[in-house]
Structure formats: structure tokens, C-alpha cells
Structure 1
Amino acid sequence: MAEKREMRRGLGRGLSALMSDVDVRPAEAEADTTPRTPDRMIPIEKLFPNKDQPRRTFTPDQLNELAESIRVKGIIQPIIVRPRPGSEGEFEIVAGERRWRAAQMAQLHEVPALVREFDDIEVLEVAIIENIQRADLNSIEEAAGYKQLMNRFGHTQEKIAEALGKSRSHIANLLRLLNLPESVQTMVVEGQLTAGHARTLVTAENPEEVAKEIVRRRLSVRQAEQLAKPQPQKEQSPSRTSLAGSEKDADTRALEGDLSAAVGMKVAIQNQPGQENGKLTISYRTFEELDKLCAILSAAR
């Protein structure tokens, strides 16, 4: 029993327990919202960002808007911090970096904070939870956050979905976006493509070219689906035709997506027409990904 408790601790205190420490009401909430009482006021210069912060993009316009709100109302919702390891009197931001940045723009000298004794695992968990619940992350950052929770802490898609009040299909669909080329992911981060557009590209044969065409022509998601749909080849050798068969059905494409999300690599399934046998192909881009795949397969034995 003691060993089991120790193993659970190794995965952090659990999402449900951590969420009780994260109040996700926006900092610019209405005046009638009852604010949480901070543990203390901490000078701006004593606070430092969390290097594992899942949010990488801070839009200047949104920061300016928040800074103006803070000038008028102050910071209603305290940020969450922990003592900075190895630096007495300094603190690391666990959740609320955007408020901290905006507070500097508003020329505040100190900010309200809740001080918590989190370990490194809990710091990342809380940072991801807080950002996801606030809807502050773009789709790629959100997917990367889910991937970190799964890879580093052993959380399953089902556990994440239940704890965050989201469907498993939402989690799985976002994870599939991480299989897209980096250039396409950048388009999503920069707002050139929506998550809906990006999902249509997961099974596309040439996602980068299709993505550029979607942006150039300003296509809707429905139009993007038609553009990304695999085109039937006019001529194929008998052996090629027998292996590829007709266009893949929705169940096969969904299974490819689920497997891709599970291993973090592109997966292709080819069925023999009218038979139960076929071929499954996993594509890796680096030797590190190959090593990861070998580890996954070894652990499953």
C-alpha cells in the first residue's frame, strides 16, 4: 500500500487535487466577482517566469488590453507562485505570467500572489491546467500541453478529458495536430489557420502545399476538407491498386489518427480490398523518434 501511494505521488498530486489550487476566473473579471484573498504582495522584480510555461505566445494587443484593465481595476485574481529553488526571497510564477507581464506594463511595483509549495511536476501540471481552462492557449500549445501531461506524468487521454471537462475526442483531435509539419503548426500558432483547418490536413498527402493554398484562397473549413481529400489516381499498376483499394473510409482514417496521437508519429493503414489483411506503416523523422517507437513497442510486450 505504501509503495502504491509513493507511485501516485511520483505522478504529482493528481489533476483533481491541483485544480482546487487553480481559480480560472479571468484577471479582468467584472467588479462584482469576489476576488480570492492573496497570501501576500510580492515585488515585481522578485518574480520570475516558469521555464516550462506551456504558453509561448503573448499577443501584444491582448497584453495592452489587460494592462489597461489592471490600471483601472488592479489585479483582481492573484497569481500563483512557489519559492524559487536556490534563491531565497524570490519566487517562480506557476500560473499568471500574462498578468505579471501586463502588471509591468501598467507600472505596478508589486502584485498579489498565492504562495504554494509545488514540486516540479506539479508546477507544469498547474501551468497547463490554468492556461487550458482560461482558453489562453492556441490549439498547438494546448495539444503540446496534453502531450506533456501524457509523456511526463503518465496521464491518459481519458483522465485528462475527465479532469478538464473536455471530451476524449477533443483531446485526441488536438494531439493529431502535432503530427503536422512544423511549418503548418506555425501557421496555426500565428492564426493563419484555425484548428478546424488544421484537422483537415492531418491525413493530407501534401499538408504544407494544401495549407498554403487554404491561406491564399481564404477557404472555409468545408472547402479545405475538399481540397485536402486524397485524389483518386488515374492509372495504377495492378499490385498498387490491389493494395490501396478504394478511398479510405472514415473509420480507417479515425483509427490512423488515434494511432498517430498515441505514438506521436504519422501512421498509415492500407487494407486489402475484400480481405482482412493489409499493411500498417509508421513514419519517423529522426532517430530519436525511432528510439521512442522501439521503447513503446518494448513496453507493450
Structure 2
Amino acid sequence: MTRAEHRGPEHGKVVGFSLQERRLGSTVLRTYRTKVDLDTVVPNERQPRLGPKEDEELQLQIEANEGIFEPLLVEPHPEQEGKFRIIDGERRWVNSSVLVAQGREQFRHIPVEVTDRPLTDEERLRVWIYIHRQRKEWDAKEKEMVAYRLVDLLGRAGAANILGISVKELEKLVQIFEMSEKFTGLRDPSGAITWARELMGLSKKLVTPAVVDAVVRKVAERRITNSKELRKLRTILPDPVARAHFLADEGDIDSAMLRLGPAPKKKGGLASDLETAVEAMKHVPWTALADLRGDPEVLKKIDEAEALLRSLRKALST
């Protein structure tokens, strides 16, 4: 642990701090912890998280803990003397500010972890993404939103590099986020991502603009209440009668399912018999195969089958 001097926000004094190393993925930061006034902290204008930051539940948590439990990660502001810019923790800062604006002055001083220098844009984004990937919100609602925001900040190649994914994977996340923006008026706005994921999970050939409009409308009207119900569209949309009914104003998923035609019968004959035999062999459990290893009767049957298939191929080829 090393000592460093940093010009603090109070009266421009130079104060000594003990630095510690903090590894966040491939980035290693040198930081120290202290408490600062809310007004010395400013948000990051290139914040990856979109949407409103005020959260009544988080405000209740701050009150219950008598302050912020997890320090904000901040950096010395490169342009504003005596200020700190947020790397991670903008929601905590916003909701503490709301409480102070309500006259709760006891929440004015907040704990922070300060880096020993301003970070580059790439370092700041990598650190933020690493931190958020450790949280449950990442898979629940954030990764598509962040992908969309990073494309705006860095372009597709840069965003894919920061996230450690291919451009093709990035495109899918962006498309899901753009689709989620169509689902409005939900009780839980973050649930829009779940609806979009299910809808984008269908074949692209099936998800036409008319289908999207119908799904969005019926979700808004609470006629589809569970996102997993959208999986039934894989069966409904290829059927012309069921599809037309679903797209109509009066149609919904359950009523469309009732209008499905009979399932087409599989074509019989030699090809069907061979397919059945191959599928049966594919599903033999490995434990059964282990028991049959070296069995002369089974090996004899396989030899006979190979000879028969060779003869069959030869007959059909000529």
C-alpha cells in the first residue's frame, strides 16, 4: 500500500491518502476511500446506462442503511478542479441527492472510492461493464441496453471489443433493445427486454412488422400476460388460418391455437424408415453402449446393416 497526495475538494487542501490496488477484470486501479459532499461529485456524460435513475426503493434502502452502503467509484475530474466524476454509482448519487433535496441533510456526505488519476474513456467503460456484469441486473435487463449505448458511443467494432463479443452477437443485442422500446406502458418497464427477447427468438421470416404490431398491442392490452406465451407463435404463424386470426383485432394466442389445421403427416416409404432408424440409434444412451461394447451378436448385426446399406446405396446410385 502506498501513500499519495491529492488535492481534496475542501478549501483546496492537499491531503495524503493510502492507495490500494483494485483489479477489475483486465484493468488494475489504484484507489483510496474517503467521504465527500454530494456537490463535489458530477455524473459521467458518457454513462452506458440509459433511462431514469430515480428509484424510490433505492431511496428507502439508503434511509434504512443510514447512508450509501457501497461507495461510489469516482475519478478526479480532469477539467473541474476539486470535483470528482462518477465511474460507477450514478443511481446511488442521484437518489441521495433526491433525499437531500427533501431536506435530509444527513445524506449529503457520501462514501467514495477515488482513483489516483482520471481514466481514459476505454478504461472507464471496461471498468463499468466489468462491475455490472457481476450484478444480477446484467442478465435481467442491462446487457442489451448497454450494447445499444456503446454503439452510439464507440461504433459497432468498438462496442463489440469492449463487451468481448462478435459484431454479430452485438447486432442481436442492439436489435433486442430496439424491439424492447416498442413495449411501453408496462407495469415493470424493465420487463420490455424480456418480451423483446422472446419475440426476437422467433424465426426472422415469421416476425413481420404486422406481427410485431399485433404482439405489442395485445401485450399493452393485457391480452398476452406471460412472455413465454409468445413461443406458441412458432406454431401459429406458419399456419395461414391461425396467423390471420391472431393478427385480427379479436384474435389472441389461445384462440389462434384453436384454429390450427391438422399437423401434416410425415412422408412414408424407405426414406422415412431410414430416418426413424437413424433417430433411434442417435438416442441410445451411452450407458447402454458401454454395456454392449465387445458383444459379438451386436457387432454381427452392425456388419449386416453396413453390408445392406452399401448394397442399397449402390442400387440407388445406378
Return 204-213 or 133-142, whichever deviates more. 133-142
Q: How much does 1:174 deviate?
A: 3.8
SS of the counterpart of 2:65? Answer: helix
Q: 1:45 aligns with which of 36, 39, 64?
A: 39
Q: 1:208 aligns with which of 186, 205, 213?
A: 213
Does the alignment pair 1:121 with 2:114? Answer: no
Deviations 1:248-293 (A, max 9, x none): xxxxxxxxxxxxxxxxxxxxxxxxxxxxxxxxxxxxxxxxxxxxxx
Change (3 A) 1:227 1:214: farther
State the AA in 1 paired with 2:128. Answer: A
State the AA in 1 paired with 2:227. Answer: V
Q: How much does 1:217 deviate?
A: 1.4
Change (3 A) 1:179 1:90: closer
Deviations 1:20-45 (A, max 9, x none): 559xxxxxxxxxxxxxx952222111
Confirm or deny: 8 A CA contact 1:140 1:178 kept in the other structure. no
Report the number of matched residues. 199
State the AA in 1 paired with 2:163. Answer: I
Q: How much does 1:233 deviate?
A: 3.7
Give the corresponding residue for 2:107: 108
Q: Sequence identity of aligned pairs in percent?
A: 23
Q: Which stretches in structure 1 are left out of the alignment for 5+ residues?
A: 1-13, 23-36, 163-167, 235-301
Confirm or deny: 8 A CA contact 2:181 2:192 kept in the other structure. no
Of structures 1 and 2, the one with the larger relative CO (CA 8 A, separation 6+) is 1
Q: How much does 1:79 deviate?
A: 1.0
The residue correspondences of 1:1-301 to structure 2 (distance < 5 A) are 16-18=25-27, 38-55=32-49, 56-58=51-53, 60-71=55-66, 74-104=67-97, 105=99, 107-116=106-115, 117-136=118-137, 141-149=142-150, 152=154, 154=157, 160=163, 174-180=173-179, 182-184=181-183, 186=184, 190-191=188-189, 193-202=191-200, 203=204, 204-205=207-208, 206=210, 207-215=212-220, 216-227=222-233, 230-233=237-240
SS of the counterpart of 2:74? Answer: strand
Q: Which stretches in structure 2 are left out of the alignment for 5+ residues?
A: 1-22, 242-318
Give the corresponding residue for 2:286: none
Confirm or deny: 8 A CA contact 2:143 2:173 kept in the other structure. yes
Between the aligned partners of 2:148 and 2:125, the Cα distance in structure 1 is 12
State the AA in 2 paired with 1:39. Answer: R
State the AA in 2 paired with 1:226. Answer: K
Deviations 1:32-68 (A, max 9, x none): xxxxx95222211100111222222335332222222
Deviations 1:213-255 (A, max 9, x none): 1342143233222247534447xxxxxxxxxxxxxxxxxxxxx
TM-score of the two chains, using structure 2 as the length reference: 0.50
Confirm or deny: 8 A CA contact 1:66 1:99 kept in the other structure. no
Deviations 1:75-120 (A, max 9, x none): 3322111122321001111101122223332542222212223112
State the AA in 2 paired with 1:53. Answer: Q
Change (3 A) 1:172 1:189: farther
Between the aligned partners of 2:40 and 2:191, the Cα distance in structure 1 is 38
Change (3 A) 1:161 1:197: same
Q: How much does 1:173 deviate?
A: 5.8
Confirm or deny: 8 A CA contact 2:160 2:170 kept in the other structure. yes
SS of the counterpart of 1:99? Answer: helix
State the AA in 2 paired with 1:133. Answer: Q
SS of the counterpart of 1:183? Answer: coil
Confirm or deny: 8 A CA contact 2:125 2:162 kept in the other structure. no
Confirm or deny: 8 A CA contact 1:187 1:193 kept in the other structure. no
Between the aligned partners of 1:140 and 1:77, the Cα distance in structure 2 is 21
Change (3 A) 1:179 1:99: closer
Between the aligned partners of 1:131 and 1:59, the Cα distance in structure 2 is 18
Q: How much does 1:211 deviate?
A: 1.9
Confirm or deny: 8 A CA contact 1:181 1:208 kept in the other structure. no
TM-score of the two chains, using structure 1 as the length reference: 0.52
Confirm or deny: 8 A CA contact 2:42 2:86 kept in the other structure. yes
Between the aligned partners of 2:73 and 2:91, the Cα distance in structure 1 is 12
CA root-mean-square deviation:
4.0
Q: How much does 1:131 deviate?
A: 3.3
Larger radius of gyration: 2
